[in-house]
């Protein structure tokens, strides 16, 4: 692996999942690999799990970590080519990415979508600009349309907890007061298509994800029907993709409760709004995997960083 911008950068998902589980059992076995290597974690947006778990993963591998909050520690960046930079943006991505590349061996990047400019979000301007102008590998710590470290985490978690050869996995939309990105459901849909699972998506009409991503994944508008005999229920809110960034429904009927779950395992990427996305009774039960999922963030990141370090 030479970078990790999206799931397409994975050559062999099964082996990457196995590496993650191996690293979980022996996290400190490869510290020579990261010795005198530095990862720079660049945040355009706030983060708890990603910040801590990626830092932990890098430290487990013996790396140094430098974090930079691009909204507070540094200047605003210009991403347009040819622009005359006489307004508020003090540095061009061309210089920023090239310069940072000289201080670090791997760049981790966190940059959310606008949710107002569909075209710009789809182009992944920030992520792709860093990839283009950086001279070191870039790792996506959630971008406008993808969260591949979360998806790898989710794949590891399902591999660990599946009791059957081909589990049924349901991605269910759930209500939320604010407009949320598509990065997590997009990447989860992608990674499920790469695994040997029976996968479907359920959401209210109007919440169809980008069809280039969901492809031939069954979409079932009736949540009860979709959840039938599920082994894993992955709840997540997202805003409309067609009416880009809009909140079309806050229908609490879509909240996951124990009855709906019906002995399936519950998954969510966190942070999760209790009693909005999912009832307390689910999160506080043994059916919830959300804490184990968050733990796997470290080992997903560590598996990716290890492969990249081996290719530097």
Ligand-binding site membership of 287 (annotated): no
Residue 117 is a binding residue for a second copy (CB under 8 A):
no
Say whether residue 82 binds a second copy (CB under 8 A). Answer: yes
Residue 163, annotated as binding a ligand = no
Among 8, 12, 15, 103, binds a second copy (CB under 8 A): 103
| Cis preceding-peptide flag for 271 (omega within 30 of 0) | yes
Give me the least distance between CB of 177 and a second copy, in Å please: 5
Q: Which of 233, 242, 238, 110 is nearest to 170 (CA)?
A: 233
Q: Which window, 71-79, 153-161, 166-174, 235-243, contacts a second copy (CB under 8 A)?
A: 71-79
Asked if 237 interacts with a second copy (CB under 8 A), we say no
The two structure tokens encoding residue 65? 């970590």
Considering only 4-12, 95-103, 206-214, 231-239, which stretch makes contact with a second copy by CB under 8 A? 95-103
Q: Which is nearer to a second copy, 101 or 214 (CB)?
A: 101
- Strands of the chain, DSSP E: 38-43, 64-69, 77-78, 91-92, 106-110, 138-140, 168-173, 198-202, 219-220, 232-236, 265-267
Min CB(166)–a second copy separation in Å:
29
270 binds a second copy, rule: CB under 8 A = yes
Does the footprint of a second copy cover residue 269 (CB under 8 A)? Answer: no
Please state the closest distance from residue 127 (CB atom) to a second copy, in A. Answer: 19
The residue range among 9-17, 36-44, 121-129, 190-198 that interacts with a second copy, by the rule CB under 8 A, is 36-44
Instruction: Give me the count of residues in the chain.
Output: 312
Residue 171 marked as a ligand binder: no
Segment interacting with a second copy (CB under 8 A) among 2-10, 98-106, 189-197, 204-212: 98-106
In angstroms, the CA 212 to CA 155 distance is 21
Taking the CA atoms of residue 152, residue 158, residue 159 and residue 163 in that order, the dihedral angle to the nearest 10 degrees is: 180
Q: Does 60 bind a second copy (CB under 8 A)?
A: yes
Least CB distance to a second copy at residue 297 (A): 8
**Is residue 93 within 8 Å of 80, Cβ to Cβ?**
no
Q: Which is nearer to a second copy, 182 or 268 (CB)?
A: 268
Backbone angles phi, psi at 235, to 5 degrees: -95, 145
SS3 234: strand
Interaction of residue 271 with a second copy, rule CB under 8 A: yes
Q: Is 197 helix (H, G, I), strand (E, B) or coil?
A: coil
- Reduced to 3 DSSP states, what percent helix, strand and coil does the chain have, rounded to the nearest 5? 40, 15, 45
CB of 124 closer than 8 Å to CB of 143: yes
- Binding of a second copy by 64 (CB under 8 A): yes
- Contact status: 53 vs a second copy (CB under 8 A): yes
Start-to-end C-alpha separation, the chain: 9
d(CA 273, CA 243): 24
Read off φ and ψ for residue 168, nearest 5 degrees. Answer: -90, 125
Instruction: Report if residue 29 touches a second copy, rule: CB under 8 A.
Output: no
Contacts for 218 with CB less than 8 Å, ≥ 6 apart: 199, 200, 201
Q: Which residues are annotated as a binding site for N(2)-succinyl-L-ornithine?
A: 142, 176, 236, 273
Positions touching a second copy (CB under 8 A) are 27-28, 36, 38, 40, 43, 46-49, 51-53, 55-56, 59-60, 64, 66, 68-69, 72-75, 78, 81-87, 90-92, 94-96, 98-100, 102-104, 177, 270-276, 280, 283-284, 290-291, 294-295, 298
**Known binding-site positions for carbamoyl phosphate:** 47-50, 75, 110, 147-150, 269-270, 297
């Amino acid at each position: 692996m030479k970078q990790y911008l999206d799931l397409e950068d994975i050559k062999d998902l099964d082996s990457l999942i196995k590496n993650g589980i191996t690293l979980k059992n022996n996290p400190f076995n490869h510290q020579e690999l990261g010795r005198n290597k530095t990862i720079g974690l660049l945040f355009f947006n706030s983060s708890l799990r990603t910040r801590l778990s990626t830092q932990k993963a890098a430290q487990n591998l013996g790396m140094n970590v430098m974090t930079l909050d691009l909204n507070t520690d540094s200047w605003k960046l210009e991403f347009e080519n040819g622009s005359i930079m006489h307004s508020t943006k003090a540095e061009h991505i061309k210089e920023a990415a090239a310069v940072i590349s000289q201080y670090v061996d791997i760049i981790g990047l966190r940059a959310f979508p606008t949710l107002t400019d569909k075209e710009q979000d789809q182009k992944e301007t920030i992520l792709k600009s860093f990839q283009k102008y950086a001279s070191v590998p870039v790792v996506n710590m959630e971008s406008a349309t993808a969260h591949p470290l979360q998806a790898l985490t989710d794949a590891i978690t399902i591999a660990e907890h599946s009791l059957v050869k081909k589990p049924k996995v349901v991605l269910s939309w759930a209500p939320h007061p604010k407009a949320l990105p598509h990065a997590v459901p997009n990447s989860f849909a992608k990674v499920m298509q790469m695994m040997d699972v029976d996968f479907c998506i359920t959401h209210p009409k109007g919440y169809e994800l980008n069809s280039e991503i969901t492809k031939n994944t069954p979409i079932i508008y009736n949540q009860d029907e979709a959840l039938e005999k599920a082994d894993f229920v992955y709840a997540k809110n997202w805003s409309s993709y067609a009416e880009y960034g809009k909140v079309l429904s806050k229908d609490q009927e879509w909240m996951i409760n124990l009855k709906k779950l019906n002995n399936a395992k519950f998954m969510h990427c966190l942070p999760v709004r209790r009693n909005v996305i999912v009832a307390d009774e689910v999160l506080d039960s043994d059916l919830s995997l959300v804490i184990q999922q968050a733990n796997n963030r470290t080992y997903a990141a560590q598996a990716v960083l290890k492969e990249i370090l081996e290719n530097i």
